[in-house]
Amino acid sequence: MMTTAQSPGFDFAAIESVLDTLLKSDNASEFCRALVHSELSNANVQGCHMYLLDNSSQLLPVAGYGMVYSSEAPEISAWDETPIAISVRTKTFVFDGHGPANQPVIAIPLLRDSVPLGSLCLVLVDTVRDLPMHEKLIPILGKLGTYCLTNMAIATTKGGLREASGEDLTSRQIRILDFMAEGLVNAEIATKLLVSESTVRQETVRIYRALGVPNRTEAAKKGRALGLIKRPPARLVEELRQLTT
């Protein structure tokens, strides 16, 4: 039976440090590992897996760590009756405390502008019968999962973003890329680095060439996918903080 049972208290104090750890993950599998071992799981999560919804309505596993849900196949149809598929169809999280072989699971839809992109599956220890985390954590994990899916997992599955590694970028160019991702314009970056605006403009062109991108937005996206930019977008951080208040 799938329910949204009463959940334990919400520990606001631990949230920010845990979010920081998760958001600094270099790839989607590392994100899954960090989530399993984070304070958010309260030692109740023994597996975390990420699924991408493709154009054939199949949910493809793209990243994961730890125990796999026992009913999972290599591909799951979005029309199946598994918690993972149901979470995508209904756009709401599903807690199944009595899964196959009494293996409980939480499936969280990964949405962008209310459109499902995939699902995040948390495999729980077999003694869990009620939702082991506060429901306020679910949308936070959903946003984090969507960020990882679109900026890390999809990047590596498509392959294109790995054609340019960014290895040729200098330390100054990486700093400029970091500032670009924060939304700073050339003049602001020049002030921070104590160089001329013309120098920043020239370095920006070199960054585009090294990453194989046409503009600042794509440069920031690719920089995150390649692990060059560690800090998450300010907009995402603000949205997550709003969810904790």
Q: What are phi and psi of 45, to 5 degrees?
A: -105, 125
Burial of 187 (0-12, 13-18, 19+ CB in 10 A): exposed
> Would you state the pLDDT for residue 162?
40
- Give me the pLDDT at residue 5, please: 41
Which pLDDT belongs to residue 237?
65
Per-residue pLDDT of the chain (245 residues; tens, 9 = 90+): 444 444 455 556 567 777 777 777 777 888 899 899 988 787 899 999 999 888 888 888 888 899 887 655 556 889 988 899 999 999 999 998 876 666 899 999 999 889 999 999 999 998 888 888 888 889 989 988 998 888 766 554 444 434 455 667 888 998 899 888 888 899 999 999 999 998 998 888 888 888 878 888 888 888 877 778 766 666 666 766 676 66
Which pLDDT belongs to residue 6?
A: 43
pLDDT in the model for residue 232: 63
How far apart are the C-alpha atoms of 178 and 25, rounded to whole Å?
16
Domains and CATH numbers, the chain: 2-158 (3.30.450.40), 164-232 (1.10.10.10)
Adjacent-strand bridge partners of 118:
52, 110
77 to each of 68, 82, 85, 149, 190, how far by Cα in Å?
A: 17, 9, 7, 18, 51
| Res 71: pLDDT | 53
